[in-house]
Amino acid sequence: MAALEAEVAKVRAENEDLRATPVGLLADVNAAVVAEDSARAAIAQAKLATRFPGTPETARGAKQLADLESARKAKEEEAARLAELGFKALRANATFEGDDASITLKSTAISGQWSFDAYADEWRYLESERGQKYITAKASVSSQRKDPLLMGRVVGWVAMLRARRTSPPLGV
């Protein structure tokens, strides 16, 4: 009985070995590349290169693996560059349009002081509490009308700030 079980295991191993065609192994490499799993793709490519060296499938698998590695490296470099830039990486030239007015935000910064109501050589400012910082941006409001209605969200935001004398909420 043990001899028959060993023979069945041997035949199954041979069957699996015969099923491993270059196209099948390249499909394994493709699946790993699509899943962006470079470790699994490298294992599948190594198996393909070992079993079928010099075939077109081996060359295509090697190219796909190299492309996956270069894309991963480019993503890591971009993430490191953005992490190094911090808030400078954010584009703060956002414009919000209302019925009568538009508001443009520029120059995002992290600061311990919030300046507002700036006119010529006069302005008001708030100092942050110890250990706290403000996320600030320069805002410009423009309109074609002489007496525009400000957007409701902005009016509520300014009213809240004046009532509480706190920093503006994030996401507004």
**pLDDT tens profile 9-60:** 988 888 877 777 888 889 989 999 999 899 999 999 998 899 889 899 999 9
Bridge partners of 109, per DSSP, are 136
**pLDDT tens profile 63-109:** 999 999 999 999 999 988 888 887 666 665 577 777 777 878 777 77
pLDDT at 11: 86
Q: Is the pLDDT of residue 117 over 50?
A: yes
Q: Is the pLDDT of residue 172 over 50?
A: no
User: Which of the pair, 138 or 156, is modelled with greater confidence?
Assistant: 138
Q: What are the angstrom distances between the C-alpha of 150 and each of 13, 65, 105, 160, 167?
A: 76, 55, 15, 15, 20
Provide φ and ψ at 37, rounded to 5°. -105, 90
Query: What CA–CA distance (Å, rounded) separates 148 from 116?
Result: 20
Q: What are the angstrom distances between the C-alpha of 50 and each of 13, 20, 58?
A: 17, 12, 9
